Structures are given as C-alpha cells and as structure tokens.
C-alpha cells in the first residue's frame, strides 16, 4: 500500500489538507534552515545550543510557515497538474486557505517567543507569502515580483532564521554566505516554473518564466548561480581558505557543487527550448539536487569556521 493510500485510509479526505502542505519538501527546507544554525555555532557548538528552542523554531518554520505558504498557494491556484513536491495533487479542499492561514498564525504565536531576528524573519516571510498568493495582490502573477519574494524568502531568510534562532548576531562572513543564498535561489526559482508555463499562462498568471520564455529564464538562472558562487568564494577567501594546509579540502566541495550546477544547467540551456513539460520537471528535480549539494558544501566549508 502506498503512503498516499495509507494516509487516506487513516484520515479520509482530511488527508488532502496534509498533502497540500507538501511534506515531501519538509526535509529539504529543514536542512536549508539548519544550515544557518550550523553556520552560527559551528559543528562543535551544536553540543551546547538550546535544542528545544532550535527544534521549535525549525518545526514552525518548516511546517507552519513553509507548509502553510504552499497550502495557501494551492488554495488559489487550483492546480490540476503536478506542482513542485506534489505529483497529481488532489483538488484543494474547501477550507484549505483557512487551514493554511490558521497554521501560519499559530506559527507566528510560537515565533513570538523566539529571538528578535527570528520573529522578524517569520513576520516578513508570512507577509510576503500572503502577498504572493492571495488576491488582489497575488504577486506571483507579476513577473519579477514573484522572483524577488522567493529569492529572499526561501533563499536568504530561511537559513537566516536558523541562525537567528540561536540568538547570536550574524558575523560579516556569515552575512556574505547568507546573501549568497539569495542569488542561488534566484537561479533556482525560474527552473521550478518552466514545466508549469502552459498552465500558468492558461490561468493568466504572468510568472517570470512565462514572460521570459525558456531560454532567457535559463540564462537568468545561470547568471544568478554564477553570482551566488562568487559570493560564496568571497566568503571563503575572507575566512582564510587561501591560507594553511587544507586549501584543497576547503575549496573542493564548493567546486563540486558548482560543477553539479554546470552539469544541470549547461545541457538544459543548450536544448531547453525543445523539451517537454515532463522533461523540464525532471531537470527541476536535478536542480534541487544541486541545491542540496551546495548546502552540504557550505556546511563542510564554513561549519568549522566560527
């Protein structure tokens, strides 16, 4: 019996609400958030962090903010085709928006007990989430604004929340690393839209990918990823990666991550205009893998620097 079938057997149609929170994505967002925590304290410092506070902050960010954001988005999109992290989505249940909004509000209550930086990040992302999905603003339908919201919310503010949950100030090198995640996700975001272009256009949403088209969207992605790795390299240099005997060990994981992006984006840029929606979707998941490798490289390189 599949996991989805078991869920329906236990919860009935209420399982639709859980599916629209897209739990398949939760481990990915949890790791990206936790990257900020490790950057703040280093691997050695994890032995003495306030674990209940950090775990509460992680759960609230992943489920109550990110999960609720996706549910609210589904409530208004009424997608019939595959969406990111949810294949063959069920029809959005009647009270999905209310459910998502209530979950986000509950998370805000928990966030209020967290350090000030975390509260601010949660509040900013909650507001951006509502502006992104909910009419009449619905900024996801305005090319460029959808991109800005995602690059800052998912890209920079998510790992920042993991850092802020520790209560420690962000160091100068830390700011550069966190800022690097902003263009990294700016490069990833158009890739998550390419396989949905036809459905977005049919709905009247002028998303970034639907306005730019395949080739220019991919060109933007390549440029943004290059900028991101430039910032990561700048942070590595500032951390002394060019000195000492472990130069290769510091730079090699970052080079591997950059190589993964090149392997994904290079062929996609060359032949992307002739791909089907299903092929774009497969390549999107490869890009998500490159993102995961990048997180691992950042953890390896900078997790021992503080």
Residue 127, SS3? helix
Residue 142: strand pairing partners:
206
Of the residues 118, 142, 170, which one is the last residue of a structural domain? 170
Instruction: Using alpha carbons, list the distances in angstroms from residue 145 to 149, 186, 189.
Output: 6, 11, 12
Same-domain status, 145 and 175? no
292 lies in which domain range? Answer: 171-306
Whether residue 216 is contained in a domain is answered as yes
Of the residues 143, 170, 197, which one is the last residue of a structural domain? 170
Same-domain status, 194 and 251? yes
Same-domain status, 135 and 117? yes
Whether residue 185 is contained in a domain is answered as yes
Are residues 197 and 217 in contact, defined by beta-carbon separation less than 8 angstroms? Answer: no
Residue burial 18-27, b: 16+ Cβ < 10 Å; e: rest: ebbbbbebbe
Q: Note the pLDDT of residue 243.
A: 75
- Reported as a single tens digit per residue, the pLDDT across 134-179 is 999 888 888 889 899 999 999 999 999 999 999 999 999 999 999 9
Whether residue 1 is contained in a domain is answered as no
Are residues 22 and 62 in contact, defined by beta-carbon separation less than 8 angstroms? Answer: no
Cα gap 10→206, rounded to integer Å: 39
Count structural domains, the chain.
Answer: 2
- Reported as a single tens digit per residue, the pLDDT across 263-294 is 999 999 998 888 898 899 999 999 999 999 99
Helix (H) or strand (E) holding 261: helix 247-271
Are residues 44 and 52 in contact, defined by beta-carbon separation less than 8 angstroms? Answer: no
Nearest 10 degrees: Cα torsion 96, 281, 81, 158: 10
Between 16 and 60, residue with greater pLDDT: 60
Its pTM stands at 0.91
Same-domain status, 160 and 228? no
Q: Note the pLDDT of residue 306.
A: 42
- Reported as a single tens digit per residue, the pLDDT across 222-248 is 999 999 999 999 999 998 888 766 667
Same-domain status, 157 and 236? no
């Amino acid at each position: 019996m599949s996991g989805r079938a078991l869920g329906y057997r236990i919860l009935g149609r209420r399982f639709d609400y859980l599916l629209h929170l897209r739990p398949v994505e939760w481990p990915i967002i949890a790791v990206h958030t936790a990257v900020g925590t490790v950057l703040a304290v280093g691997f050695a410092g994890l032995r003495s962090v306030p674990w209940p506070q950090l775990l509460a902050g992680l759960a609230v960010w992943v489920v109550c903010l990110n999960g609720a954001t996706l549910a609210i988005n589904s409530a208004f999109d009424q997608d019939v085709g595959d969406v990111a992290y949810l294949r063959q989505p069920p029809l959005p249940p009647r009270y999905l928006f209310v459910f998502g909004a209530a979950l986000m509000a509950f998370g805000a209550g928990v966030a209020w007990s967290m350090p000030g930086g975390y509260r601010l990040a949660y509040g900013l992302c909650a507001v951006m989430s509502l502006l992104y999905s909910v009419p009449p603003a619905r900024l996801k339908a305005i090319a460029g604004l959808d991109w800005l919201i995602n690059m800052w919310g998912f890209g920079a503010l998510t790992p920042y929340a993991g850092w802020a949950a520790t209560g420690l100030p962000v160091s100068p090198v830390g700011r550069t690393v966190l800022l690097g995640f902003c263009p990294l996700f700016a490069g990833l975001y158009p890739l998550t839209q390419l396989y949905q272009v036809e459905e977005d256009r049919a709905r009247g949403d002028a998303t970034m990918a639907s306005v730019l088209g395949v080739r220019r969207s991919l060109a933007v992605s390549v440029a943004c990823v290059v900028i991101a790795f430039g910032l990561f390299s700048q942070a590595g240099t500032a951390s002394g990666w060019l000195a000492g005997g472990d130069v290769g060990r510091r730079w090699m994981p970052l080079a591997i991550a950059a190589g993964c992006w090149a392997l994904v984006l290079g062929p996609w840029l060359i032949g992307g205009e002739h791909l089907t929606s299903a092929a774009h979707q497969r390549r999107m998941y490869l890009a998500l893998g490159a993102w995961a490798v990048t997180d691992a490289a950042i953890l390896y390189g900078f997790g021992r620097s503080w």
